[in-house]
């Protein structure tokens, strides 16, 4: 997988990609990340990449010419490269879309700044607009890092075990079950006995039910998209009845 990041602040990306799983993936050649300074594609002496908006208003707007040059240069070598503009106005990034993007081989990530990009960038050069949440950042750089991390970990060989990604939260529209490690007893708080039993069937059932319970309590909206068996539905009904009897409405927060 190749990522090309278009930014006005390339220095922001140096440290994140030199650590942990992404650094190892780059070293193994599983992913390639190229950071491109948009200013290098400005043709004037001062490398101007922004200007005041037509019609007046606060702030500056990123100019279309430098952005068009860099995207056209990349696509002249690989027309299949998919251009994503990171913006609060984009569609929310969900795990389902992350999976779809992981099937592509070449992503161009455009990091907006200031008041955003000239609208003609969106009309002519952007294939998709993505937001990582309903809030505003100073630029698209942090959002690009999030997208690269989310997509990369789904690529074969990036994680220590490909099964790890399959069991992540949201992978099947459920939150992940609780995890424990040594010690078995910490200040009176013990690891559930079933996890120490060695009974893999019982452990699998416990994890499924805990995932269902956690999702029901924290993100019940996700259950609408989850593929639930009759046994799952019966278990959720039992939880609902039990919580109602106990007067526990915490799942509604």
Active-site residue numbers? 88, 115, 153, 168
**Angle at 78 (CA atoms; ends 75, 82), nearest 5 degrees:** 70
Assign 92 to helix, strand or coil. strand
Assign 115 to helix, strand or coil. coil
Provide the token pair at 172: 């099947």
Q: Which helix (H) or strand (E) holds 224?
A: none
Residue 44 is classified by DSSP as S
Is the bond preceding residue 183 a cis peptide, omega within 30 degrees? yes
Listed residue (149, 152, 145) closest to 13, CA to CA: 145
Helices (H), 153-199: 162-166
């Amino acid at each position: 997988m190749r990522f090309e990041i278009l930014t006005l602040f390339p220095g922001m990306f140096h440290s994140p990609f030199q650590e942990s799983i992404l650094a190892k993936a780059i070293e193994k050649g599983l992913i390639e990340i190229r950071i491109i300074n948009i200013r290098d594609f400005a043709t004037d002496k001062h490398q101007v990449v922004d200007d005041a908006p037509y019609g007046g208003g606060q702030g500056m707007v990123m100019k279309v010419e430098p952005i068009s040059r860099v995207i056209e240069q990349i696509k002249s070598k690989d027309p299949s490269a998919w251009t994503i503009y990171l913006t609060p106005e984009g569609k929310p990034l969900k795990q389902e879309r992350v999976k779809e993007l992981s099937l592509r081989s070449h992503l161009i990530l455009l990091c907006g700044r200031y008041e955003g990009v000239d609208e003609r960038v969106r009309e002519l050069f952007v294939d998709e607009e993505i937001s990582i949440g309903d809030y505003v950042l100073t630029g698209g750089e942090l959002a690009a890092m999030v997208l690269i991390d989310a997509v990369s970990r789904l690529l074969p060989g990036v994680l220590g075990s490909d099964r790890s990604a399959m069991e992540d939260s949201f992978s099947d529209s459920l939150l992940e079950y609780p995890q424990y490690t040594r010690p078995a007893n910490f200040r009176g708080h013990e690891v559930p006995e079933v996890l120490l039993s060695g009974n893999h069937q019982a452990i699998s059932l416990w994890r499924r039910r805990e995932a269902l319970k956690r999702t029901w309590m924290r993100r019940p909206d996700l259950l609408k998209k989850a593929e639930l068996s009759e046994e799952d539905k019966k278990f959720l009904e039992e939880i609902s009845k039990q919580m109602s009897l106990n007067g526990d409405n915490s799942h509604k927060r």
